Amino acid sequence: MIIAVTGTPGVGKTTVSKLLSKRLGYEYVGVKEFAVERDIGEKVGDEIEIDIDELAEKMVEEFKGKNVVIDGHLSHFVPSDLVVVLRVHPRLVAERLKDRGYSRKKLAENVEAELIDVILVEALEENERVIEVDTTGKTPEEVVDEIIGLIERGVKKRVGIVDWSEAYDEVLPYLNLGGE
C-alpha cells in the first residue's frame, strides 16, 4: 500500500510520516530527498523545483506493489492508495515557519494555503481516497492512532472536517495582503 502524507509546510508531515511508517512496518520516503537523489527538478535559489510528473512516474516505478509512506507537500501528486492530508491551525503554521526562518513572503503564502485548503483541494483533484486529519492540539502519536484507526475501519474518504474561516482575523497579521 502506498500512503501519501501531505499538507502545508509546518503541519507535522515528517514527524507523523516517520512514526506512521514505523508503526505499520512500511518504508519511509521523503519526496525532497527522493527527488534530489534522482535529480528530479532543478535548484532555484535555496529551493528545489520538482518536476511533479517525473516525480510521480519515478515513484510509481520504484514503489508499485510495496508498502511505503511518502512524506511531502507534493506527495498527493503521486498515485497512491491513500492520501492523508494533515491540517493544523494557520496560526501554528505561522509560528512554526517563523521558527524555521521562512521569509515573510513564504510564511504568508503557506498560512494562506492552510487557511483556504489549498493542499486538500489539490489532493481531492488528484485522488479518490483522501482522508483529512486535524493535528491541532494532538501529539504525533494521537495523529498516527487516528490515521491507523481510519485505515482499519476502511474509511475511503473523510474531508470537510476542518474549517479555518473563524481563524482569519487571528492570522491576518501573517498574511501578505498588500503584496511585497
Give residue 47's pLDDT band: very low, low, confident or very high (50, 70, 90): confident
Identify the pLDDT of residue 45: 73
- pLDDT, tens digit (0-9, with 9 covering 90-100), for 67-124: 999 999 999 999 999 999 999 999 999 999 999 999 999 999 999 999 999 999 999 9
- HSE-CB at 172 with a 13 A cutoff on CA atoms is 5
The pTM of this model reads 0.93
Identify the pLDDT of residue 171: 84
Phi, then psi, of 42 in degrees rounded to 5: -140, 155
Residues 6+ apart with CB under 8 A from 116: 164
Identify the pLDDT of residue 68: 98
Q: Answer yes or no: are the C-beta atoms of 170 and 91 closer than 8 Å.
A: yes
Instruction: Give the angle 158-161-166 at the CA atoms, nearest 5°.
Output: 160
Identify the pLDDT of residue 152: 96
The domains found in the chain, sorted by start residue, are: 2-88+127-162 (3.40.50.300)
- pLDDT, tens digit (0-9, with 9 covering 90-100), for 112-159: 999 999 999 999 999 999 999 999 999 999 999 999 999 999 999 999
